[in-house]
Amino acid sequence: MNAQDFLVELGTEELPPKALKKLADAFLAGIESGLREAGLNHAGARAYAAPRRLAVVVEQLASEQPDRSVNLDGPPLQAAFDAEGKPTQAALGFARKCGVDLSEVDTSGPKLRFSRSIPGQPARDLLPGIVEQSLAALPIPKRMRWAARKDEFVRPTQWLVMLLGDQVVPCEILAQTAGRESRGHRFHHPEAVRISSPSSYLDELRSAHVVADFAERRQLIGKRVAELAAEHQGRAIVPSELLDEVTALVEWPVPLVCSFEERFLAVPQEALISTMQDNQKYFCLLDADGKLLPRFITVANIESLDPRQIIAGNEKVVRPRLTDAEFFFKQDKKQPLERFNERLAKVVFQAQLGSVFDKAERVSRLAAFIAERIGGDRQWAARAGLLSKCDLATEMVGEFPEMQGIAGYYYALNDNEPEDVALALNEQYMPRGAGAELPSTLTGAAVAVADKLDTLVGIFGIGMLPTGSKDPYALRRAALGVLRILIEKDLDLDLVQAVRFSIGQFGDKVNSAGLADQVLEFIFDRLRARYEDEGIDVSSYLAVRAVQPGSALDFDQRVQAVQAFRRLPEAEALAAVNKRVSNLLSKFESKLPEAVEPRYFDNATEFSLYSAIQQAEHAVLPLGAERRYREALERLALLREPVDAFFEAVLVNAEDASVRANRYALLARLRGLFLGVADISALG
């Protein structure tokens, strides 16, 4: 079977840059899916995308489908014909479905059956439908019409190239008739570009000042930006999303270095970087110390004879934006940061929970409570909590919302607040996402945990629980943030105490009945997914969850110990024993004796187990107190032999009530040793 390369290129008005790569990938996926469904084999396929075009090249595409045979089963013979042998409606309906007369249907088997061979169709006839279906399935939230046509697409279409080998595939799609003429760069080569074949597509467009390969343009931009930054003794900030967007804006990338007045460097550099990246799509430069340089790189879409004109134009455009940031910064500094709380007293946090200032006061008290318990400074934490929301009322954050916390840091330093207090105003929002940076100070950690716990308690307390995908107050993220801070920074905070303290601050604004248990369950539930991602068995999590440790750090240390214990050869047997003991104790209806009495022992294995338990207690209890849980479980693993011997030789439910109760007390003591770490029975 012959094979040829295939090219489809749809030319449009400028496509949305943030969506370009996704559109190209979806176009490729749609084409490949259509080819698979049609049974058209090919060696490979690749997508290309530029501001005014989406294209796919398929290598070595089969020229036609293979022949196929179709076998259709119909109704059983007894349902297909009546007693007189006449066809029923079921039989006639099956024949109609097959598109043939009933006489052509096979009636020799238990069911009606129709078989036919379908000759393969030429790829040339199938490709227009595959392309059209792929374009229709693109992820376009809102399609548009143009001129008087009813066709809809993300942007008005301008041309269509469809070549199979060196021949045009005749069709009309989205108001464009297929041909072999593409378009070059809008300014450098506005004339039509004749595409000879799919294999020459990239080179022929390149000669017309169009780099059609998105990945190639991206690499060119990244490399040249890095070179220019190094030439100016700097390092470029190149966020992946920004690089993608800039790549989607240009067909012929030409990076150029521009500058701005050094006086603007007095403004927080995060604000300058934000406005240059988000609004102007510039790459900012940092020096070796991470300080912003008064330079930036723009990527032009034209190779100008006089680049200075482009540079001057960009410098002129950016100046008003930097001036705005400078103005807001100066205005905000005219009053102390704490003064902005007066505005926040009139801003509602949540209708039932009061103002943003009310929240700041709660966070202040809770942060002080937490700081005392994690080794931080109570006064600094209280101060940082009180100032934590002030910058939300500033002009800077009003213009640049992403500056919340960062602006507060700069304004606190301007007011001569302690460094830890200033840092905490930004660190309260950490971690800002999965795997993101954690607070660097104990004050920041205390405020961050306090802020998140206050939100969790308040929102749960008014019954606004997250459901399904709806989580408007980001409570899941808040809970994960609390856990990450406490576990990864080794902070031993009793969450039970902290949550109860938080509840007490709300007074009658929340329904406190069962609230602490509800919030704590929600927080610790988040650990399950965390451990699954880390490859820790869910049974290890459940074993620890059963003993309900109040500290997230303690919880994690126990889980890690149980996970290690599961790998010991004795683990399975001891888990089964714990399960058996748990079941026995649950059925014991009398009150357990306070102590084990050796005088009731009538079997040597009882003495052996009692002695082993006493020795284990002596070794394990200090280990548990020091949270050396892994060593504790390794020591408890030595109990396997005396435990096995006990159950082989002893009937726990002895006839004598005193003997029976004593044996249950012995088992309770055994189980209590393990419960000092986790409920090992959950591993069985």
Q: What is the pLDDT of residues 512-554, one digit of tens each?
A: 999 999 999 999 999 998 898 889 999 999 999 999 999 999 9
Q: Structure pTM?
A: 0.80
Residue-level pLDDT at 252: 97
Residue-level pLDDT at 100: 83
Q: Verify that 348 and 300 share a domain, yes or no.
A: no
Angle, alpha carbons 353-356-357 (nearest 5°): 105
Please provide the DSSP assignment of 517-534 as one string: HHHHHHHHHHHHHHHHHT
What CATH number does residue 676 fall under?
1.10.730.10
Per the structure, the count of domains in the chain is: 5
SS3 656: coil
Q: Verify that 195 and 221 share a domain, yes or no.
A: no
Structural domain including 464 reads: 339-535
Q: For the segment 212-229, what is each residue's pLDDT rounded down to a tens digit?
A: 999 999 999 999 999 999
What CATH number does residue 23 fall under?
3.30.70.260
- Assess whether pLDDT exceeds 60 at residue 171: yes
Burial (0-12, 13-18, 19+ Cβ within 10 Å), 39 = middle
Classify residue 166: in a domain, yes or no.
Answer: yes
Mean pLDDT of the region 588-602:
85
Q: Verify that 428 and 439 share a domain, yes or no.
A: yes
> By the 8 A CB rule, do 258 and 218 touch?
no
Q: Verify that 488 and 631 share a domain, yes or no.
A: no
Q: Verify that 664 and 612 share a domain, yes or no.
A: yes
- Assess whether pLDDT exceeds 80 at residue 492: yes
**Predicted confidence band of residue 684 (pLDDT cuts 50, 70, 90):** low
Last residue of a domain, one of 159, 191, 208: 208
**Predicted confidence band of residue 570 (pLDDT cuts 50, 70, 90):** confident
Classify residue 423: in a domain, yes or no.
Answer: yes
Classify residue 625: in a domain, yes or no.
Answer: yes
Classify residue 559: in a domain, yes or no.
Answer: no
Q: Verify that 22 and 47 share a domain, yes or no.
A: yes
Q: For the segment 82-135, what is each residue's pLDDT rounded down to a tens digit?
A: 888 888 999 899 988 887 888 888 888 889 898 887 788 899 999 999 999 999
Mean pLDDT value across the chain: 93
- Assess whether pLDDT exceeds 80 at residue 309: yes
**Predicted confidence band of residue 70 (pLDDT cuts 50, 70, 90):** confident
The rounded distance, in Å, linking the Cα atoms of 200 and 203 is 6
Classify residue 540: in a domain, yes or no.
Answer: no
- Assess whether pLDDT exceeds 90 at residue 588: no
Q: For the segment 422-445, what is each residue's pLDDT rounded down to a tens digit?
A: 999 999 999 998 889 999 999 999
- Assess whether pLDDT exceeds 90 at residue 509: yes
Q: Verify that 407 and 505 share a domain, yes or no.
A: yes
Q: Verify that 416 and 530 share a domain, yes or no.
A: yes
Last residue of a domain, one of 208, 241, 274: 208
Q: Which helix (H) or strand (E) holds 457?
A: helix 442-461
Which residue(s) pair with 167 in the sheet? 164
Q: Verify that 183 and 102 share a domain, yes or no.
A: no
- Assess whether pLDDT exceeds 70 at residue 561: yes
What CATH number does residue 391 fall under?
1.10.3210
**Predicted confidence band of residue 343 (pLDDT cuts 50, 70, 90):** very high
The rounded distance, in Å, linking the Cα atoms of 105 and 91 is 9
SS3 366: helix
Mean pLDDT of the region 362-368:
97
Q: Verify that 318 and 246 share a domain, yes or no.
A: yes
Burial (0-12, 13-18, 19+ Cβ within 10 Å), 156 = middle
Residue-level pLDDT at 594: 83
Mean pLDDT of the region 391-413:
95
Q: Verify that 403 and 296 share a domain, yes or no.
A: no
Q: C-alpha distances in angstroms, 677 versus 281, 303, 552, 563, 609?
A: 54, 69, 14, 12, 20
Residue-level pLDDT at 434: 83
Mean pLDDT of the region 157-185:
96
Last residue of a domain, one of 333, 351, 381: 333
**Predicted confidence band of residue 166 (pLDDT cuts 50, 70, 90):** very high
**Predicted confidence band of residue 573 (pLDDT cuts 50, 70, 90):** confident
Residue-level pLDDT at 240: 96
Residues 6+ apart with CB under 8 A from 148: none
CA–centroid distance for 357 within its chain: 32
Please provide the DSSP assignment of 176-230 as one string: EE-BSEEE--TTT--SEEE---GGGHHHHHHTTT----HHHHHHHHHHHHHHHHH
Residue-level pLDDT at 71: 83
- Expressed in angstroms, the distance from the first to the final Cα of the chain is 59
User: For 92-138, what is the HEC assignment?
Assistant: HHHHHHHCCCHHHCECCCCEEEEEEEECCCEHHHHHHHHHHHHHHCC
The rounded distance, in Å, linking the Cα atoms of 510 and 495 is 19
- Assess whether pLDDT exceeds 90 at residue 362: yes
**Predicted confidence band of residue 167 (pLDDT cuts 50, 70, 90):** very high
Residues 6+ apart with CB under 8 A from 111: 73, 74, 75, 76, 77
What proportion of the chain, given as a percentage, has pLDDT over 90? 75
Tokens of 683: 């591993």
Mean pLDDT of the region 477-506:
96
Classify residue 128: in a domain, yes or no.
Answer: yes
Residues 6+ apart with CB under 8 A from 615: none
The rounded distance, in Å, linking the Cα atoms of 357 and 338 is 11
Q: For the segment 143-156, what is each residue's pLDDT rounded down to a tens digit?
A: 998 888 888 999 99
Classify residue 586: in a domain, yes or no.
Answer: yes
Residue-level pLDDT at 1: 54
Residue-level pLDDT at 394: 96
What proportion of the chain, given as a percentage, has pLDDT over 70? 100
The rounded distance, in Å, linking the Cα atoms of 229 and 537 is 48
**Predicted confidence band of residue 2 (pLDDT cuts 50, 70, 90):** confident
- Assess whether pLDDT exceeds 80 at residue 469: no
Q: Verify that 329 and 364 share a domain, yes or no.
A: no
Classify residue 550: in a domain, yes or no.
Answer: no
Report helix angle 269-278 to 406-414, nearest 10: 150
- Assess whether pLDDT exceeds 60 at residue 308: yes
